[in-house]
Structure formats: structure tokens, C-alpha cells
Amino acid sequence: MNIVRNAIPALLCGLMLTSLSASAVEYPLPPAKSRLVGQNIEYVVPADSTQSLEAIAARYQIGLTGMMEANPGVDPYLPRPGKTLIIPQQLILPDTVHEGIVINVAEMRLYYYPKGTKTVEVLPIGIGQLGTDTPVNWVTSVQRKKANPTWTPTAKVHKEYAERGEYLPPVVPAGPENPMGLFAMYIGNLYAIHGTNAPFGIGLRVSHGCVRLRNDDIEHLFNIVPVGTRVQFINEPVKAALEPDGKRYIEVHEPLSRTMEELNSPEPSSLSLSAAVSRFIAKADTDSHIVKQALEDRSGLPTQINP
């Protein structure tokens, strides 16, 4: 619910899967006509833990919002020792082509389908703030790549910083303090997939429209994604999957707020269902109570909705 989104400003002041040296989570592609992959993990916060929820999320390649959706009410600064957390590593693949990079801004995940393999790599991302939103319903490509990128702030960005009493040079030099991090893949005149100097922003709406990744993640992608790779942006807070065994699942995320009033409201954001999802949950064997609860909880966890 909006409780997750509204916590963000304060935060800013394995079966079926394999770790890739903390730089991605790789899933085997499921069988034909299946889109459900992975398994969730239970993690018990150690008795002597001083880790934040973001630190635990980073360990398991999850974004902060994803962890907060799956674990409502958990203290994001210092989860209680002994608390059992759900690490949300089971997911429904987006219902789109399994090619190149697919970015679902609603769930703040990037999917990369390496050519010639039967795998998908899934990475958490940070996206654009309200008013400088990351684009959606857009197909483009990786047009060029650059290590150690510089950053040329726009006039609007200079003004924003000046209003906070901060100064930006005309061009921010390359280096660890650059908001673009150490690697960038450019996907248009205005947008890039890049690293960050603020890793706590992964899984949050923090950028000026670009897609941010943790530094190990962007270095990993930079090294394996060829120039010319297809990149698709979608905005699907609700995903659905009919599995070969007849089980049907939905995965519901909090939709992105569209106005400041909606962002600051204590009420949940309105959730619009696509015609395809509406038909999917209208089947005769659907448990309407489970669907209602999933749409209210918005946990980001795949939920079976039929017997």
C-alpha cells in the first residue's frame, strides 16, 4: 500500500536459482507455457544483527521496496532480531518477448535474457521520481556504452540543486561520487541504464528518469550486454500466469503514484487491471476472497488463486 511508498522519503534522509557473485540472480527459463520461476526464501534476522533492511535486500539482490512489500510493518532501519523475513525471489516473468532487456517500472526490476541461453537474469533497479518519470511503453536499444561516464546536469537539475543550496559544476567528472556511477549504457538522448553513488536508492523512485543499478550489477551488465540489445519498458503492477498444471497465479505490486496527492495520501493508490488480467481472474474456479486479499496486500509475491 502507500505505506511502502510513503516510507521512502524518510529512508532517503535457493531452489531454481543461482547467485552470480552478488551481481545478478539467474533463473532457468521455465517450461513452455509457464512463467513462474524461483522460490521465496525465509531469512531469520540474527540476534546480533545491526543490518538495515536495505543491506539484507542487497545481499539477496532485492530492491528496498520489494522487501518492504513482502514484509509489511518491518522496521526498515533495523529489523528486529529473530524476525523471519520473506526474501521475494519467486516471481512471474512479464508477459512479453523473452529478448534483450525488459524493465518493469512498477515492480522496479530489470530482466535480461542473454542471447543463446535458456536463462533470465533479474536485477533490482531505481527509477525516476514523480515528475521525472522513467518512460513506459517504449521499445529502444542499447545505443552505446561508456565506462567512467561524466554527467551533464540539465538546467532543471541545476535549479533543483540550487534550491537546496547545493552547487553542481557544468559537467560532473567521472568517479565514485558521480551519480551515474562507473558504468553507463545509453538507450536514447535523455536516458541511460547506469550505476549510482547512492546504493540505498535501489528499489526506490530516486532518479531523474534514468534506470539505476547497484554498482556490481551495472558492471556485470556492462560486460555482457552488447550494443544493439533490445530494451523494452513496461508498467505492469499486476502480472498473471496460467501454469501447465492448471494452477493460476497473480503477482500484485503497489502501482506507481501519478500525482503528489496520490503519493502523499495514506490511502492505497488506485489499481487498474488490464482487460487481460480482468478476464484471467474472472474464471469460474477463481477464489474471489484470495484475489481480493492479494489486490489489497500488494505483497509482490505470486499468489495461487484457484484450487
DSSP 135: P
> What is the DSSP secondary-structure string of 244-304?
TTS-EEEEE-PPPP-SHHHHH-SSPPP-PPPHHHHHHHTSTT--HHHHHHHHHH--SS-EE
Is residue 22 within 8 A of residue 43, CB to CB? The reply is: no
Indicate if 289 belongs to the active site: no
Residue 259 CB coordination number (10 Å): 11
DSSP 201: G
Nearest to 101 by CA among 250, 273, 249, 222: 222
Alpha-carbon torsion 297, 300, 306, 307, what sign?
negative
Is residue 25 within 8 A of residue 88, CB to CB? The reply is: no
Is residue 101 within 8 A of residue 110, CB to CB? The reply is: yes
Indicate if 13 belongs to the active site: no
Distance CA 59, CA 108 (A): 17
Annotated catalytic residue within 208, 210, 220, 253: 210
Distance CA 284, CA 306 (A): 9
Annotated catalytic residue within 98, 158, 194, 289: 194
Report the alpha-carbon angle 83-46-12, nearest 5: 70
Active site residues: 194, 210
